Structure 1
Amino acid sequence: MTDLLQRGREYFSSQFGAAPGGLWSAPGRVNLIGEHTDYNDGFAFPLAIEKRTLVAASVRADRRLRVASSSFPGVVEVSLDGLDPDALHGWAAYPLGVAWAMSEAARESGGPVDGLAGMDLALSSDVPAGAGLSSSAAVECAVALALNELWGLGLGRQQLARIGRLAENRVVGAPTGIMDQSASLLGEPDHGILLDCQSLQTESIALGFAGAGLGLLVIDTRTSHSHADGGYASRRRSCEEGARAMGVGSLRALGPADLPRAAALLDTQTFRRVRHVISENQRVLDTVATLRTRGPAAIGPFLNASHVSMRDDFEISTAELDLAVSSAQVLGAVGARMTGGGFGGAAIALVRDSDARRVAEGVAQAFDRAGFAAPRIFPVTASEGARRES
């Protein structure tokens, strides 16, 4: 983290010619279980990780917004008075989309929108992009936390999570739920966040990984994905169609007992999409209950079953993700599954500390034998959410 802070300060100075007024950061996340449940008003169980995105920021004397990213060339500049969500594109749509969404929130609350100051914002990150670790939400939440303080809006963290979701849905055009932003803002060390996406209530759940001699390995397949692609949107449409056919507002209203009726009413593909969401919601609840009663070493079957459901019912896995999961399982992982939106990205494996190196090396060898590009494999730990750094 010290290195990221130093890089962030230096990068801001190189782009804007002065030291930043402050530094804020937000983490990426791993979703332990509960995939594609968030936009169906279901349950998810993510955790914040130690890899973070940093925003260095300073208030300007005018109403210009200037944003720079160490991952992309150039500085994007717009006026707060002409912040049009339909005119924001590329990487800058994430931070500027948050600025737009926050100005809308200020307007709706009767705040002094015309008095909001311009900003210089510089982004640096060590969250791998495109790996299913929610690098986009890390950007959104770091920027939201900085603007909330510098603009004096006084918004709570759940409000900031909704602002990040609005930016991603309306400006970026990705039909995601609120899980990623919630994890990035609300994470705690050695805890997961049980998120009820219908009520937006959250509960911090102790993981106990360290005490049990367990850890999480991320297996980044280095195959990129984008939530704005048609695959993600088509899955969401299938879920909405299934809910309408079943006569409910969202799939959250259905449980395992409704599956026989769903099988009779729905076409085969829509039924499989619905079955994934219903069964995944149950797996989230079962995972949390098992953590409380039997400990983390007993949750492996739920992780494994989640991957099968995403592979076969939701059809969002890839050959690389399947190999990452199956090879980790053969090598002794307690459980493994793909994580994130799918169509590429990363898998996670819950492993015993004594097995971590062997599992990582064995997965890399399996990729080499299959002719796939070498994966990036690294451990992650449940960490603190978004915060001011200095």
Structure 2
Amino acid sequence: MTTDAELEASARAAFAAAFDGEPEGVWAAPGRVNVIGEHTDYNEGFVLPVALGQTTRAAVARRTDGRVALASVQHPGQRVELDLADLSPGTPDGWAGYPAGVVAELRERVPGGVSVLVDGDVPAGMGLSSSAALSCSVALALRDLAAPQLTTADLVDVARAAENDFVGAPTGILDQSASLLCTAGHALFLDTRDRSSEQVPLDLAAAGLVLLVVDTGTTHSHATGGYGDRRRECERAAERLDVPALRDVPDVAALAPLDDGTGEGSVLLRRARHVVTEDARVLEVVRLLRDTGDPRAVGPVLTAGHASLRDDFQISTVELDTCVAAALEAGAEGARMVGGGFGGSAIVLVEDASVDRVTEVITRRFREEGYSAPRTSLAVPSPGARRLS
């Protein structure tokens, strides 16, 4: 595994090559995988993510000419430079929109502008929050360099605003909170309404388990996909139930007014049912981890979460469904899709001794169905965002 010192040195060298100078520091923010709690964050509910070992690094230096310069190791030849005053939603676009959005949120703190070099290994489009890792690494850098009074909660808001308002991706606070708040060896139990949180121990290795991440090879985009449609449907359901958010619905029985015999009512019922039952699943997983200390017990809850995302929220894909089914048939403790949906990855809770066999079964099933070969990695609960130098 590459050390933080090696990652820092690499980012510094890339910055020097891009900008012919030295950065003032290097910061790293991880991607995340959500153990349970999908599409509950913008409904003011509960989530339970862990940070990944993969990070995005931002090497940053302040400028004095009022310019913003952005470069990426992953996007060579796509350096972006413009006046600080010219930053506006959609300008620049693409990958550069995320760091630019953070700079725009904090432009009064860096009136001379900044140079930012980003490098990372959080896979994009897999549902592992590569965009949040990018935004949070830059937000943490600018906080340390120019706005030390900002709290971690403030940084969550800055990074979320960059994605929501600048890029146009209607995310909640799950991804940014996970990237900034998670700790090694724990899952982050977060109430997205009041932002209270708890670090819940999640020692997979001690239980002889691993959390396998399976990239199905189908990518998604929050900014252009169906994520926004689902968010609007949830808001509409809450309006019809006359509650501030779906978090406030006490149980599935209270969703009956949505079942009015219309097509819209049927859709809204399914969307709301997923959110209500998913919040309950988060609470159940936290209870199991607290009471038993054995992550194996949460496997069936993960699988139930996938069925809800597939049937009620309707954001799974044939590749994701195939992955989950194959993993369970091969003996996994539980499995489900993760992320915003319409592509991306699944997680599989599996015995360490069985991971190779489960991976082989999933790969063979994909080959038989004519899908692209999946890529796999392990999700080890890792530290949150931090300064490397």
Give TM-score, length-normalised by structure 1: 0.94
Q: What does residue 58 of structure 1 align with?
A: 61
Q: CA deviation at 1:57?
A: 1.2
Which position in structure 2 is the counterpart of 1:306? Answer: 305
**Residue correspondence of structure 1 range 56-95 to structure 2 within 5 A:** 56-72=59-75, 73-95=77-99
1:280 equivalent among 278, 281, 288: 278
Q: Which amino acid aligns with 1:131?
A: M
Aligned length: 381
Quick check: 1:4–1:126 contact (8 Å CA) kept in 2? no
User: Could you tell me which amino acid in structure 2 is paired with residue 278 of structure 1?
Assistant: V
The one-letter code sitting in structure 2 at the alignment partner of 1:97 is G
- The alignment partner of 1:65 has SS state of strand
Change (3 A) 1:114 1:387: closer
Work out whether residues 109 and 147 of structure 2, in 8 Å CA contact, stay in contact via their aligned partners in 1.
Answer: no
Cα displacement (A) at 1:154: 2.1
Match of 2:43 in 1: 40
Q: Which residue of 2 aligns with 1:158?
A: 153
- Separation in structure 1 between the aligned mates of residue 273 and residue 250 of structure 2, nearest angstrom: 9
The question of whether the paired residues in 1 share the 8 Å contact of 2:225 and 2:342 is answered with no
Aligned: 1:127 with 2:122: yes
Which AA in structure 2 matches 1:293?
D
Q: Following TM superposition, where does structure 1 have runs of at least 4 consecutive aligned residues deviating by more than 6 angstroms? A: none
Matches within 5 A, 1:1-390: 1-2=2-3, 3-72=6-75, 73-103=77-107, 113=108, 116-256=111-251, 257-264=253-260, 267-294=265-292, 295-390=294-389
In structure 2, do the counterparts of structure 1 residues 355 and 17 end up closer, same or farther at CA, with 3 Å as the change threshold?
Answer: same
> For 1:87, what is the secondary structure of its paired residue?
coil
Task: Assess if the C-alpha contact under 8 Å between 2:241 and 2:255 holds in 1.
Answer: no
Q: Aligned partner of 1:60: which letter?
A: R
Cα distance in 2, alignment partners of residues 87 and 123 from structure 1: 18
2:67–2:83 Cα contact (<8 Å) kept: yes
Tell me the CA shift for residue 264 of structure 1: 4.8
Unaligned residue ranges in structure 2 (runs of 5+) = none
- 1:106 aligns with none
**By how many angstroms is 1:222 displaced?**
1.3
Do 2:109 and 2:146's aligned partners in 1 also have CA atoms closer than 8 Å?
no
- Cα displacement (A) at 1:378: 0.9
Counterpart AA for 1:22: G
CA contact (8 A) 1:50 1:381 kept: yes
State the shift of 1:86 in Å: 4.5
1:233, distance to aligned residue in structure 2 (A): 1.0
Please identify, of 89-98 and 260-269, the stretch whose mean Cα deviation from structure 2 is larger.
260-269
Q: Take 1:255 and 1:14, find their aligned partners in 2: how far apart are those partners?
A: 56
Secondary structure in 2 aligned to 1:81?
helix
Paired with 1:154 and 1:78, the residues of 2 have a C-alpha distance of 27
Greater displacement, 152-161 / 180-189: 152-161
Give, as a single letter, the amino acid of the residue that structure 2 aligns with 1:145.
Answer: L
In structure 1, C-alpha distance between the alignment counterparts of 2:78 and 2:343, rounded to whole Å: 28
Q: 2:62, 2:110 within 8 Å by CA — same for their partners in 1? A: no
SS across alignment from 2:70: strand
Residues 274-309 of structure 1 deviation map (CA, whole Å, 9 limit, x = unaligned): 100000010000110011112211001110000000
- Partners of 1:157 and 1:377 lie apart in 2 by 32
State the Cα distance separating 1:7 from its structure 2 match: 2.7
Report deviation, 1:150. Answer: 1.1
Tell whether the 8 Å contact from 2:258 to 2:268 is kept in structure 1 after alignment: no
TM-score, normalization by structure 2: 0.95
Q: CA–CA distance in 2 between the matches of 1:343 and 1:82?
A: 34
Q: Indicate the larger mover: 94-103 or 378-387.
A: 94-103
